[in-house]
Chain A
Amino acid sequence: MQHATELPEEQPKLSAVPPQRPDSTKKKAQLKKNLIGWAFVAPTVLFVIAFIYYGIFYNAYHSLFSWDGISFEKTYIGFENFGRMFSDPEFYNALKNTGIFTVLTVTIQAGLGLVLAYLLHTKGVGRTFFKSVFFFPVVLSPVVLGAAFSQIFDFQFGYINEFLRMVGLGAFEQNWLGDQDVALYAIILINIFQWTGSSMIMYYMAMLAIEREVFEAANIDGAGFWRTLWSVVFPNLKGTTFTLTILGVIGGLKTFDIVWISTQGGPGNSTEVISTYLFRKSMLHQEVGYASAVAIILLIIALSITYFQTRVQKKMD
């Protein structure tokens, strides 16, 4: 029996750190963890390699050749395709048209989308109905839109010109898709019609996250609709605006279907954008090597714009 004054037998001290395992065991455990992680991401990685990176390297490889895409013969020509591209006025015309298309569609779609979203946010009546109405064009296929707008824009019997003639404004009738000065803007209009609903929905969802008190405070201060929208709502939606801008710019660079269905880049070259120019060179001129060079340049442009935008966004934050 122990007396109170006697110290208990020394017990082994318990440590918060578990006993150290040998290094080889640690390495095996880490390797297993890594393997599990890789196994989970493997499906996505395989998909990206097969459908994206392989395509990029395929294009990069063929950009160094003269090849019609049909015959078995390919002739190595180095960077000649790139040299020809940079001295081709049609290439610059396509870039210019793409720039006009992208800037106008991105800004107008975002602006209109913002206004519509705020209207839906503030006005309660028929909110669900109007959300559906404004979003509906987003789900339409380009073929359907192209067919519809060819009826709307037809010079002789189209709805717009017939309406203008009916109200005595026949002097303003246009050859909407057949006039080289007008056709690009007509296509921009079709694109805005189709995609404004998408911007509207994104802004609307973002507005729901703004605290109600912010709107109430603006109201108490006497701010009207436009003042509140510009000074209170818009600054709170920077993230959404940035996302829409990135998506819009990439979308603008990729736009092909609505242009091809509406005008095939015509009349002449007036609505030729970079993607239709690439398609024309590849499929119609059978210059697959040259078109591959255009595709590489297009990729570099897209990556550069995305990098620049991300840098600007980080600085603003």
Chain B
Amino acid sequence: MKKTTIALASSVLVLSSLLAACGGKEEAAATTEDGKPVINWWGWAPQPEVGEAMAKAFNESQDDYVVKFKRLEDYEQQLQVAMLGGDGPDVIGLKEPMIPQYKDRLVPAKDYMDKAAGAGWKEKLIELGVEQTTVDGEQMAVPVGFTGQAYLMYNKTMLDKYGVTPPKTYDETIAAIDKINASGDKVIPMQLGAKDAWVGTDVFNVLSHQVAPGYIQKVLEGEAKWTDKEMVETAELWQQLFEDKVFQEGALGLATYMDGMNNFFDKKAAMWVIGSWEAHSMTTVEKRDKWNNFEDEIGFVPLPNLAGGTEQPVIASIDMALGVNKESKQQDGAAAFIAYMTQGEGQALYMEKFEMAPAVKDIEVAYEDKFTSDVERESYEILNETVKNAVAGRGIRDPKVYDTLGKELQNIAGGQDAKEALERIQAIADQGK
């Protein structure tokens, strides 16, 4: 009898533990100690301290809700798993390519923004942002900020030492690299973190606009092919840049974060191919606190034209849009927060973190006293201006094409035949039709 009791008791304990693990979390997270509903906001951006600051600012601006921010590293994968299990956040942070993927899971923006932000909210947004958050004619999320690619983030102090100015053309780039190498210093002249497939995809995208402006958009829309001569020429240019060591030897083994970033701030790289979001690294506060009083001047210019021309096109996409989860039990609170971040004082506050360019028109961002030097101030202006005038979006909406393009670009950079690689990409693109 005693044995039976013990055995049954342990079975019940395990069973109740299993059931508790499967449910009950929602209720536990629903309210704070003050009895205010908690709005869970997830994203891969902004940086953790910035996201927490934005949540805090919203919480202090009203008394109805409490927003909690969680930044996840493998965000898209973790979000997908959470949404499958019904554990997704109330406010979903979205990159542009994610919006069509999640369209079935989002509340259409007009259903809540008219009430939360008032009439005319849509007209305040930059048109490209509305376009990139619209799927099948319906706007599914509200844009917060844009980021652009590709730029050279350069250490001006180092370039001055080598007698080099930020290059604008292929010839100027080669001259700059040769001059830095001739110094004998162990410095990477132009660094690319090509281990990250997303970096290669962005840079290839920009190169394609240098080779054949706008052509890649036709390919992405299915009106042209990856194997067309314009794309083959771009792929061969991409390969040539590695063979000619324009991008440093070993680029395919270097991760952008944190290895590439550490190289730049350890002064082991004079120029770094990166996106506009790194503008925050130029601020006085970050140079002092995050990079141990980094004193060198930093600047940004668009990626030089490496295709033999002079135009330096930039591509830009919504890097953070916010959407309301259809399964959220706090949709009003989620809507209030989104209105704050995209239309209210939250937008201006966030723009002063210098991670992204504004998604609304006519916004004044106080930046002059945030940077130490004129070069940095001018660079911030260059970033904003070029993102605003981007020639096309960054995003590739088909996730299979996006991932395959990234991998095949690594194959091409490693010496594989460019045409064959593009054929494989076209085969994947054809699957989606």
Indicate if the CB atoms of A175 and B400 lie closer than 8 Å. Answer: no
Indicate if the CB atoms of A178 and B248 lie closer than 8 Å. Answer: no
How many Å lie between the Cα of A50 and that of B21 in the bound state? 11
Given A39-B4, A43-B10, A177-B195; A154-B101 close (CB under 8 Å): no
Q: Which residue of the partner chain, among B13, B254, B414, contacts A180 with CB atoms under 8 Å?
A: B414
Chain B residue at minimal CB-CB distance from A182:
B253
Among A233-277, those with CB < 8 Å from B are 263-270
Chain B residue at minimal CB-CB distance from A153:
B253
Among B181-213, those with CB < 8 Å from A are 186, 188, 194-195, 197
Given A70-B83, A285-B399; A40-B7 close (CB under 8 Å): yes
Indicate if the CB atoms of A266 and B15 lie closer than 8 Å. Answer: no
Closest CB of chain A to B381's CB: distance in Å?
A: 33
Indicate if the CB atoms of B18 and A46 lie closer than 8 Å. Answer: yes
Closest CB of chain A to B190's CB: distance in Å?
A: 12
A35 on the B face (CB < 8 A): yes
B8 on the A face (CB < 8 A): yes
Q: Which residues of B contact A155 (CB under 8 A)?
A: 249-250, 253-254
Chain A residue at minimal CB-CB distance from B269:
A156
Indicate if the CB atoms of B104 and A71 lie closer than 8 Å. Answer: yes
Interface membership of chain A positions 67-82, coded 1 if the CB is closer than 8 angstroms to chain B and 0 otherwise? 0111111000000000
Q: Which of B45-53, B140-148, B224-232, B405-413 has 4 or more CB atoms under 8 Å from chain A? A: B405-413
B403 on the A face (CB < 8 A): yes
How many Å lie between the Cα of A43 and that of B14 in the bound state? 6
How many Å lie between the Cα of A134 and that of B186 in the bound state? 35
Among A25-63, those with CB < 8 Å from B are 32, 35-36, 39-40, 42-43, 46-47, 50
Chain A residue at minimal CB-CB distance from B79:
A70
B76 on the A face (CB < 8 A): yes
Indicate if the CB atoms of A178 and B253 lie closer than 8 Å. Answer: yes
Q: Which of B103, B268, B407 counts the most A-chain CB atoms under 10 A from its CB? A: B407
Indicate if the CB atoms of A285 and B403 lie closer than 8 Å. Answer: yes
A1 on the B face (CB < 8 A): no
Given A35-B4, A69-B80; A268-B411 close (CB under 8 Å): yes
B11 on the A face (CB < 8 A): yes
Closest CB of chain A to B383's CB: distance in Å?
A: 28
B259 on the A face (CB < 8 A): yes
Indicate if the CB atoms of B14 and A47 lie closer than 8 Å. Answer: yes
Chain B residue at minimal CB-CB distance from A177:
B253
Q: Which residues of A contact B268 (CB under 8 A)?
A: 156-157
Count of residues in A whose CB is under 8 Å from the partner chain: 44
How many Å lie between the Cα of A286 and that of B83 in the bound state? 13
B416 on the A face (CB < 8 A): yes
A150 on the B face (CB < 8 A): yes
Indicate if the CB atoms of A176 and B253 lie closer than 8 Å. Answer: yes
Closest CB of chain A to B183's CB: distance in Å?
A: 15
Indicate if the CB atoms of A154 and B410 lie closer than 8 Å. Answer: no
Indicate if the CB atoms of A50 and B18 lie closer than 8 Å. Answer: yes
Q: Which residues of A contact B15 (CB under 8 A)?
A: 46
How many Å lie between the Cα of A186 and that of B425 in the bound state? 28
Closest CB of chain B to A142's CB: distance in Å?
A: 13
Chain B residue at minimal CB-CB distance from A285:
B400
Interface membership of chain B positions 239-269, coded 1 if the CB is closer than 8 angstroms to chain A and 0 otherwise? 0000000001111111100010001000010
Q: Which residues of A contact B250 (CB under 8 A)?
A: 154-156, 175, 178
Closest CB of chain A to B16's CB: distance in Å?
A: 11
Closest CB of chain B to A62's CB: distance in Å?
A: 11
Among A88-106, those with CB < 8 Å from B are none
Chain B residue at minimal CB-CB distance from A37:
B7
Given A36-B4, A264-B197; A70-B249 close (CB under 8 Å): no
B3 on the A face (CB < 8 A): yes
How many Å lie between the Cα of A285 and that of B432 in the bound state? 11
Q: Which residues of B contact A269 (CB under 8 A)?
A: 407, 411
Indicate if the CB atoms of A179 and B414 lie closer than 8 Å. Answer: yes
Chain B residue at minimal CB-CB distance from A279:
B77
Indicate if the CB atoms of A70 and B11 lie closer than 8 Å. Answer: no
Q: Which residues of B contact A209 (CB under 8 A)?
A: none
Indicate if the CB atoms of A268 and B408 lie closer than 8 Å. Answer: yes
Measured CB to CB, the residues of B under 8 A from A are 3-4, 7-8, 10-11, 13-15, 18, 76-77, 80, 83-84, 101-105, 186, 188, 194-195, 197, 248-255, 259, 263, 268, 399-400, 403, 407-408, 410-411, 413-414, 416
User: What are 26 A-to-B residue pairs whose CB atoms are below 8 Å?
Assistant: A39-B10, A40-B3, A40-B10, A42-B10, A43-B11, A46-B15, A70-B84, A71-B103, A72-B104, A150-B255, A156-B249, A178-B250, A178-B253, A179-B252, A180-B411, A263-B195, A264-B197, A267-B195, A267-B253, A267-B413, A268-B407, A268-B416, A279-B77, A284-B399, A284-B403, A286-B101
Measured CB to CB, the residues of A under 8 A from B are 32, 35-36, 39-40, 42-43, 46-47, 50, 68-73, 150, 153-157, 175-180, 183, 263-270, 279-280, 283-287
Q: A265-B407, A266-B407, A267-B414 are in contact. List 11 more A-B contacts (CB 8 A).
A: A43-B14, A46-B14, A70-B101, A154-B254, A154-B259, A155-B254, A156-B268, A175-B253, A266-B197, A268-B407, A283-B76
